[in-house]
Amino acid sequence: MTNIAELKIDTGKCTGCGLCVKVCPGSIISIGGAGKAAGGRTPI
């Protein structure tokens, strides 16, 4: 499968609120160990 989009997260602006995790289809975004959003390697 070829990725048609690339997920880039600006961790400097991330507050760790988790809103992006709630609205992201396919559970591609998660809150990492540092309390910041992290993107997986799942194709989107």
- What confidence tens digit (pLDDT) does each residue in 15-24 have? 999 999 999 8
Q: What are the residue ranges spanned by the domains of the chain?
A: 1-44
Of 30 and 44, more confident: 30
pLDDT value at residue 15: 93
pLDDT value at residue 17: 94
Q: What is the pLDDT of residues 4-42, one digit of tens each?
A: 777 788 888 999 999 999 998 877 888 888 888 887 655
Task: At 37, list the tokens.
Answer: 């959003």
pTM: 0.63
Cβ proximity of 21 and 29 under 8 Å: yes
Q: Could you tell me what percentage of the chain is helix, strand and coil, using 3-state DSSP and rounding each to the nearest 5?
A: 20, 15, 70
